[in-house]
Amino acid sequence: MTSTETEVQNIKQRFGIIGNAPLLNHAVRVAMQVAPTDMSVLINGESGSGKESFSKIIHNLSHRKHGQFIAINCGSIPEGTIDSELFGHEKGSFTGAHEARKGYFEVTNGGTLFLDEIGEMPLSTQARLLRVLEYGEFIKVGASKVMKTDVRVVAATNVNLMNKVSEGRFREDLYYRLNSVPIYVPPLRERDKDVELLFRKFATDFAEKYKVKPIALTEEAKVVLLKYRFPGNIRQLKNLVEQISVLSPEQKEIDATTLSHYIPKESNLPAVINGQHGKDLSERDILYKVLFDLKKDVTEVKKMVLEILSDPGQAQQILKNNTHLFEGLQETKTPPDHAVVLNIKAAQNQTETEEEEVQDISHEAEDDSLSIQKKEKELIVKALSKNKNKRKYAARDLGISERTLYRKIKEYDLEK
C-alpha cells in the first residue's frame, strides 16, 4: 500500500467513511488535494450518498479548520427568507424583522459554508452569491452598506445543474464559478461490496444502541442485498438495518426470505420521466408526477376551449396550435384537427345550445382541475400526518423539495 493509499484510508477512518470502491477513494483523494486551497468546490451525488462528509473533509484539512463550519440546506429554507438567512437583515427591513440579524456569510467569516441542494436556490439569491464569490462582499437585506467576508463556499447538488442552466433556472456564470473543482460521490449501487461493509457497520452500531445481538446475513441474503439498487443510498440502507435490528432481534442470521420482506418492491413502471434516465423512482414519485402533468394538461385544455369561445373564427388555428393535447387520438389514425372538426363547426355556428355544450366542456375541465388539486392536497395532508408534520420527511415521501412543499402548504392553507 502506497503512502497516498494509506493517507486515504486514514482520512476515511477519521471521518467515518466506510468502503473501498475505486470511485469513493478517488472522491476522497480529490477532497484531500483541494482542501489546502481556497477554491470553490461542487460536490455531485444522489441524495443520501454522503456528500456532507466530503465538505467536512475539505474544511478540516484546510487552513480554515479553526473557523466556523456551517451546513445549510438551500431546499429547506423558504424562498422569502433565504436572503435573510444567508446575508442577514436590518431591523424593520420586512414584516417580522423586529431586530437586526447576522447572516451565515457574516457568522462564518474565516470559515467554510456548505450549501447543500444549491440547485434549489432562487435566481435572485444566486446573483447575490455570485457577488460574494467574486468580490467577497454582500449587502444585508434592507441595508445599503457593503460588508466584506472571507468565506469558502462548498456547494452540493443531487440534480444535473447544467440541465437547470439550459432551462434558465440556474445561472451559468455561477455554475462555472462553483464548479472550479468537481467531486463526484458515487451512489451505493456503484460501490459493489461496500454495501456489505456498511451493513455490518450499521448492524454493530444498532446492536449496541438497542442492546441486541448484531444481525448477520446468509450468503443468499447477501445476493439479495447486492441486487437491490438502493435509491435512497446510505440513508436507506441505514434505516433498513435499523428496522431489521429492532423487529427481528431473535434472528441472529437473516436469510434471503426475511430480508426480502424488509426491502421495498421495485416498481415495474418505467423510470424515465422528461428524459431523465437511470433515476430510481418509487410508485409514489411517478403518481405524483402524473398528477402534476394531468393538472397542467387540464389547465391547457380549459384555456384552449375559452380561446375558441372568445374567437370561434380562429378555432381551427387554435386547435392546430394545441395538437400536443390530442396525442391520445392516435388510435383513430386521424389528424387531431380533423378529429375535432365537429367542435370547430359547433363553435362557428354560434348557436346558444352549441355554445352551452362548449361551456359544459369548460366547466368539466375546471372540475377535473379542482379534482387534481383536491387529490394533491390530500397527498400532502397524508404525508404531513404520517411524518407528524415534519416537513423534511414529508417532502421526502412525496418526492419533492422542502421549498415546493412549503409553497403547497401555503397555497392550500395547511399551516398549523
Domain match, 163 and 105 both: yes
- Residue 64: give its domain's CATH number: 3.40.50.300
Same domain, residue pair 26 and 149: yes
Sign of the torsion angle spanned by Cα atoms 196, 279, 44, 84: negative
For residue 227, give the CATH number of its domain.
Answer: 1.10.8.60
Is residue 273 domain-resident? no
Would you state the pLDDT for residue 93? 83
What is d(CA 253, CA 259) in angstroms, rounded to the nearest whole number?
10
Rounded to whole angstroms, how far apart are CA atoms 171 and 181? 17
217 and 298, same domain (yes or no): no
- Structural domain including 171 reads 3-186
Grid coordinates given for 306: 375559452
Q: How far apart are CA 367 and CA 257, in angstroms?
A: 47
Domain boundary among 186, 218, 246: 186
Residue ranges, the chain, pLDDT below 50: 267-282, 328-348, 350-355, 357-358, 361-362, 365, 368
- Domain membership flag for residue 236: yes
pLDDT tens digits for range 309-357: 777 676 666 666 666 555 544 443 444 444 444 444 444 454 444 445 4
Same domain, 304 and 363: yes
Q: What's the pLDDT at 372? A: 67
What integer pLDDT is reported at residue 132 of this predicted model?
A: 96
The confidence score (pLDDT) of residue 403 equals 78
> Do residue 154 and residue 213 come from a single domain?
no
**Claim to verify: residue 141 and residue 24 sit in the same structural domain:** yes
Within-domain flag for 271:
no
pTM to 2 decimal places: 0.64
Same domain for 200 and 181? no
Helical axes 391-398 vs 352-386, angle rounded to 10°: 130
* CA-closest candidate to residue 361, choices 311, 322, 308, 293: 308
